[in-house]
Amino acid sequence: MLSLSDEPEHTALRVEPLDETCRGLNRQYLLLVGYGGNNLFLTDWSEQDFGNLDFYDLFDRFYPDIYKQSIPFTQDDDLDAGTVYRIPADVFEHVIERHLQIDHEELQRKAAYIPEDQTYEYRPRGFYEVEYPDIPYPEVVSYTENDDGTLTLTVNAVPTKPWSVPLTIEVFSIYPIRLFFRRVAVSCGGIRTG
């Protein structure tokens, strides 16, 4: 069922206890991004190869966190218009680089950068670009403190539909000082079902 609401259709209850530190890490790092509307936790990528990471979806997720306001670049009232914005490079790069370790040149290659006016072409998602409605709810179930100062989080992606299969993904390493994602040598081959 397609819904314009963020309210879930189903509720899952945790039966096994979850460590309070894991709950805190989940609130601090995972729930900001989640699995809806982006592929940060669903595609293979690393700092050496960002693969198919969708920087526009991440811009949508991170902008409100940084600027403490809704994203001002919205879809036109005419859904067939296909609104396109040119976002100043310093704004787009600031939002992405605040959370990912990527340099300007790499980001410009991976996104639609327009050097003539130093902007990024940006098109908001339209009504017809909805995603699969069964967006899993992430739970950090364990973590490892690494020698380089990062944390590696292991996440259960709990489905919202009762017939879906839960996933366990060793997702990423993070710098705990601020919300900064770093994916190291982990691929979707690390996904285990059941």
Three-state SS string across 133-188, please? CCCCEEEEEEEEECCCCCEEEEEEEECCCCCCCCEEEEEEEEECCCCEEECCCCCH
Q: What is the largest CA-CA distance in the chain?
A: 56
Strands across the sheet containing 85-88: 85-88, 119-122, 113-114
Q: What is the pTM of this model?
A: 0.74
Query: In this structure, are residues 129 and 120 in contact, taking their beta carbons and an 8 Å threshold?
Result: no
CA angle (94 as vertex; 90, 98 as ends), nearest 5? 170
Run means of pLDDT, 10 residues per run, the chain, 194 residues: 54 75 88 81 79 90 90 72 86 91 92 96 70 71 82 76 57 52 41 35
Place of tokens 């059941």: 194
One-letter amino acid at 68 equals K
- C-alpha distances in Å from residue 176, one per residue of 97, 115, 149, 172, 173: 16, 34, 8, 12, 9
pLDDT for the residue numbered 137:
77
pLDDT for the residue numbered 96:
93
pLDDT for the residue numbered 11:
62
pLDDT for the residue numbered 128:
53
Give the pair of three-digit tokens for residue 132.
């699969």
Phi, psi dihedral angles at 158 (to 5 degrees): -90, 120
